[in-house]
Amino acid sequence: MRSQLFPTAAAALLTACASDTPVAPETARRPVAPAAAGAISVVMSGLNSPRGLDWGPEGALYVVEAGTTAHTGQCVAMARGSNCYSGTGSISRLWRGAQERVVTGLPSAFNTVGDIIGANDISFGGRGNARVTIG
């Protein structure tokens, strides 16, 4: 069943990721309305530079977010602007119809011309064995 649900959920999630507008912490948890049978709908929104996604062992959908351009650390001058530490990477989860950030403060950096790097992908090797790549 997972292989049948994944393309639909991924398409809906990618549709939701069209906007990288940062979400304030107080609005990070919100209910998600169920979709009509066979319809593609947005299931998560307000993600901060979303990257990889995976289904957790309990059936929740997890999405890693590279972060925002919030300036929380030092900057280094480069050929293309400056690279600045941000530390705003996170992981969001969609579980039982509610979206929430379950991990915050992951390392991230941004270039003042617009590139953001940070949490890049997530995978699960069973319950309690999540792996996140940064880069």
Please, what is the Cα angle at 8 between 20 and 133, to 5 degrees? Answer: 50
Closest CA to 48 of 86, 82, 77, 10: 86
Q: How many CB atoms lie within 10 A of CB 99?
A: 23
- Phi and psi at 87, nearest 5°, equal 65, 30
Looking at residue 36, its pLDDT comes to: 63
pLDDT tens over the chain, length 135 residues: 444 444 444 444 444 443 444 444 444 555 556 666 677 888 899 999 999 999 999 999 999 999 998 877 788 988 878 899 989 999 999 999 999 999 999 999 998 887 899 999 999 988 878 999 998
- Contact of 119 with 91, CB cutoff 8 Å: yes
- The residues near 82 (Cβ < 8 Å, ≥ 6 apart) are 75, 76, 111, 112
Looking at residue 42, its pLDDT comes to: 87
Looking at residue 34, its pLDDT comes to: 62
| Per-residue CA distances from 86 to 78, 90, 99 (Å) | 16, 11, 23
Report domain extents, the chain: 50-134
Question: What does the alpha-carbon distance between residue 117 and residue 103 come to, in Å, rounded to a whole number?
Answer: 17
Sheet containing 82-85: order of strands: 75-77, 82-85, 109-111, 116-117
Question: What does the alpha-carbon distance between residue 66 and residue 58 come to, in Å, rounded to a whole number?
Answer: 24
- Contact of 101 with 91, CB cutoff 8 Å: yes
